[in-house]
Structure 1
Amino acid sequence: MTIDLLVYFDAYARDYQPYKGGSWCYEDGCLYAGLMALDVATGDPRWAAHLKRLVDAQVDEAGRMQDYVLTEYNIDNILPGRALLFLLRQGGDKRYRIAADRLARQLQSHPRLAAGPYWHKLRYPHQVWLDGLYMGLGFKAEYGLFVDAPEMVADALEELLVTLDLTADAVSGLYRHGYDEERLQDWADPQTGLSPAHWARAIGWLAMAMIDLFEHVPLGSGRDRLAEKLSALLARLAALRTNDGRWLQVIDQQDLPGNYPESSATAMFAYAFLKAARLRISGADATVGLAALQSLRDHAMRPDAGGRILLQDICCVAGLGGFGGVYRDGTPSYYLSEALNPDDIKGVGPLMMAEAERLLLTAGSLPA
């Protein structure tokens, strides 16, 4: 079956229902990221039109984001702010600037670890999760560039580099999902503060945060260090692929019963490999990303009962600590227990981004 991804993405955006009933949230921000990437890659105005329609439904004329509360200090809520900056750069009205400024104010007072990185959320105190690096740092750097505040860009880079040091697992060459500086959480190792396993999508969020931030930070030793860390991670990821070019839910345990190729992480890694090649990161192999994209098309895009093509095998959500009456202990068995949600935006958004990078490759934007 031949799948036209642009047709699929257009229908997906046309029919998309806000993830949390219209409330400002990171899940919708994943779609916004995909639409922005497609706009840049194709120049087709339909992607920006979808973006504006969806954002305008969540931001009123006074710049208030639906159901957003600054003092919840939820780093996830920063991600969709990148769409506000995109619309401003396209000549959007003042509501987007008011909303973006409000998100920047959250970052000014958002609680931090003693080492510097932001807490993941106020209700997850003293913890940094890899997810939060993608949620917050791209916006922080882009906003800093937009308002000519280079100290914000520098702080975003420093936060990322510090978190890499805090979450690194030297034995595997990977990064753990979470770190608890107080060692209070049951999931945290009492010596290291780290969660116990390697969840693929957590590392996917990290890889996307690294390559997006690399694009925005100035030349210098910090940027060079980020490039070295990303190059090493990509090399490790290339070695962990399944035979068909995807990545497993528990990424480094190929023999774990019930482990499966997970589509959102695979799309995220495809994006990271392709963009890293475009930005000339040492050792970044575009063919790894291309193979991952093709494998998703061949193995994960399947019709539902009504015949509509959906992106399958997407972990709906995973976290750490108590939530909804369940304690998420961060073990391999926990990650395998989470439900799958076909066409979840946390998979489709990164797939849009990866396809956008493939289109740039096809157009000759990568070095020979």
Structure 2
Amino acid sequence: MKETLQFTPVRMAEQFMESYRNHELYPTWHYENGCLLKALEELYIHTGEQKYFDYIRELMDNFIQEDGSIRLYAVEEYNLDQINQGKSLFLLLDKTGEEKYRKAADLLMVQLKGQPRTSEGGFWHKKIYPFQMWLDGLYMATPFLTQYGAFTGEEKWFDKAALQLLLVEKRTRDSRSGLLYHAWDESKEQRWSSGETGCSPHVWSRAMGWYVMAVVDTLDHLPVDHEQRGQIVGIFERVANALVHVQDQQSGLWPHLLDQPGRERNYLEASGTSMFVYALAKGVRKGYLSGKFKAIAEKGYQGLLLHLLQTDREGVLSLTQCNGGAGLGGTPYRDGSYEYYVTESIRINDPKSVAPFILAGVEMELYKPN
């Protein structure tokens, strides 16, 4: 059954809202919760449906205490992933005025103020990953920084956010393809890092998805007259052009590893494709990207609907070919090899894919083809 642009994001969101209450991550402070809440926030903004706001508040109030402390969160972990769920605090503060949400945002900023950094000021992805910048972390932290800057009027946070986006692009960009490697180790000590560049070996689709979503969401709050805004917009266009060259022409989808198209077991993947559709469509709608990317986003979204979205007899939607996760280092050690990436789990309706799929659907509804 082919889904339509008009109803797919709403149907998927409402189905997932109900089932997610039983998900293992629902009772934890976790970046995947933040992904879902971002999708619901966009639905709330563009539909005005109170149920989306109520769900966001319900989930967040499981953690935010009256004094602004956050249950199950520890500043001292210095883990950028733990910032992502905090993005919803600004919507809650705006709509309710409750002081606990401001205090919780201040608490997350305590972490970012003390986040360990590379010699150039780039945030370590986590304290346990010294001197490493991962593309994932840009989505987790930079939009929050600019939201906080806009809320407080403290312009220094705009500068910090811009620095992160520019620095990681400079350090991870492959000069031939224009694609960005998953991570960079300044120390070059990790087995996965190149002795020459410090970069990891492959271009993981979702990592680049995190980056382009970070860019497009950060630009929402970065002042128009910020001196590095034009550079960030220019980099966005350059990265978008690189993505066009690795889009599967037959299906419109993007492969799990962007630098290995057509290689055996390198499947066409849902989360990266959804993230690219969202970022490209939103980038065109808001004037950050050239209009030519509208057709690229449309092709990608139709690919998701035709090839990866399934509907059973009861009308239940299943988004297939969702990569379960990928990282570098740690225990057991993840070496960043091709074999490592293609043997990670493949799931159905994984939150890291469903959330950007909803975002992509909202954007395609906002910017329908002429």
TM-score range, shorter chain: over 0.9
Q: Which runs of 5+ in 2 are unaligned?
A: none
Partner residue of 1:10?
Answer: 14
Give the aligned residue type for 2:143.
Answer: G
Q: TM-score, normalised by structure 1?
A: 0.94
Residues of 1 paired with 2:312 and 2:114: CA distance? 45
Give the aligned residue type for 2:321.
Answer: D
Partner residue of 1:247?
Answer: 254
1:20 Cα shift?
2.8
Give the aligned residue type for 2:40.
Answer: L
Partner residue of 2:348?
Answer: 342
Q: Which among 290, 293, 298 is matched to residue 301 of structure 2? A: 293
Matched, 1:198 2:206: no
1:303 Cα shift?
4.4
Contact 1:19–1:28 (Cα < 8 Å) also in 2: no
Partner residue of 2:364?
Answer: 358
Q: Which among 258, 261, 264 is matched to residue 268 of structure 2? A: 261
Residues of 2 paired with 1:305 and 1:313: CA distance? 20
**Structure 1 runs (4+) greater than 3 angstroms displaced:** 303-307
Residues of 2 paired with 1:24 and 1:101: CA distance? 16
Partner residue of 2:321?
Answer: 313
**What SS does structure 2 have at the residue aligned with 1:335?**
helix
Per-residue CA shift, 1:234-289, capped at 9, x if unaligned?
11111211121110001132221111111000000000111100111242522221
Per-residue CA shift, 1:109-128, capped at 9, x if unaligned?
11111111110001111100
Contact 2:15–2:316 (Cα < 8 Å) also in 1: no
1:328 Cα shift?
1.1
Aligned length: 362
Contact 1:41–1:359 (Cα < 8 Å) also in 2: no
- Could you say if the C-alpha distance between residues 122 and 305 of structure 1 is closer, same or farther in structure 2, counting changes exceeding 3 Å? farther
| Percentage of identical aligned residues | 34
Q: Which among 163, 169, 190 is matched to residue 164 of structure 1? A: 169
Per-residue CA shift, 1:38-83, capped at 9, x if unaligned?
1122222221122111111222333222210000000000011110
Give the aligned residue type for 2:337.
Answer: T
Between 1:1-10 and 1:352-361, the stretch displaced more is 1-10
**What SS does structure 2 have at the residue aligned with 1:66?**
coil
Between 1:187-196 and 1:40-49, the stretch displaced more is 40-49
Q: Which among 83, 86, 89 is matched to residue 84 of structure 1? A: 89
Residues of 2 paired with 1:305 and 1:121: CA distance? 44
Give the aligned residue type for 1:207.
Answer: V
Per-residue CA shift, 1:293-345, capped at 9, x if unaligned?
2211111112479873211111111000123x2x2111222111100121111
- Give RMSD over aligned pairs: 1.8
1:14 Cα shift?
2.2
Partner residue of 2:336?
Answer: 330
Contact 1:200–1:247 (Cα < 8 Å) also in 2: yes
1:30 Cα shift?
0.4
Q: Which runs of 5+ in 1 are unaligned?
A: none
